[in-house]
A and B are shown apart, each in its own frame.
Chain A
Amino acid sequence: MADRLFKSINARGLRGAVKGSEYKKEALISYGILVIGYILLQLGAMTGLIGHNLQGQFVPICVYISLAISLNLVVGISGELSLGHAGFMAVGAFTGIVITRVLENSIEFGPLRLIIAILAAAVMAAIAGFIIGIPILGLRGDYLAIVTLAFGEIVRNIMNVLYFGLDNNGHLKFAFNHTIEGIDTSQRVITGAIGATGVTKLATFTGAAILTAFTLFVVLNLKNSKQGRAIMAIRDNRIAGESIGLDVKKYKLMAFVVSASLAGMAGCMFGQNYSTLAPVKFNFNTSVLILVFVVLGGIGNIWGGMIAAALLTVLPEALRQFADYRMLTYAVVLILVMIGTYNPAIRARITAFVNKIKPKKKDKGKEKTGKEAA
Chain B
Amino acid sequence: MNFLNSLISGLSLGSVYAIIALGYTMVYGISKMLNFAHGDVIMVGGYVSFIMTMYVGMNGWLALLVAMVVCTLLGIIIERLAYRPLRGTGSLAVLITAIGVSYFLQNAALLIWGANPRVFTSLFDGVGTIHAAGGQLTITPESLFTILANIVIMIVLTLFVNRTKAGKAMRAVSEDNGAAQLMGINVNQSISLTFAIGSGLAAVAGVLMCSAYPVLMPTTGAMPGIKAFTAAVFGGIGSIPGAMIGGLILGIIEIFSRAYISTELSDAIVFACLIIVLLVKPTGLLGKKVSEKV
Contacts and interface: CB of A to CB of B under 8 A. Distances in A.
B86 A343 contact: yes
A292 B99 contact: yes
B103 interface: yes
6 contacts: A143-B237, A147-B278, A153-B268, A292-B96, A328-B104, A346-B85
A146 B100 contact: no
Nearest to A161: B264
B230 A140 contact: no
Given A150-B271, A325-B111, A338-B93, 17 more contacts: A138-B282, A145-B34, A146-B229, A146-B274, A150-B230, A154-B267, A154-B272, A161-B264, A161-B265, A327-B107, A331-B103, A331-B107, A334-B97, A335-B104, A339-B82, A341-B93, A343-B86
Contacts of A288: 99
Chain A, interface residues (CB within 8 Å), range: 35 or more
Interface of A: 75, 81, 135, 138-143, 145-147, 149-151, 153-154, 157-158, 160-161, 193, 238-239, 284, 288, 291-292, 295-296, 299, 324-325, 327-328, 330-332, 334-335, 338-339, 341-346
Contacts of B278: 135, 139, 143, 146-147
Interface residues of B, number: 44
A351 B274 CA distance: 45
Interface of B: 28, 34, 82, 85-86, 89-93, 95-97, 99-101, 103-104, 107-108, 110-111, 222, 226, 229-230, 233, 237, 262, 264-265, 267-268, 271-272, 274-275, 278-279, 282-284, 292, 294
A328 B108 contact: yes
A327 B115 CA distance: 14
Contacts of A343: 85-86, 89
A191 to B, nearest CB: 13
Contacts of B237: 142-143
B111 A324 contact: yes
Contact of B284 (A143, A291, A296): A143
Interface-centre pick from B34, B262, B271 (highest chain A CB count, 10 A)? B271
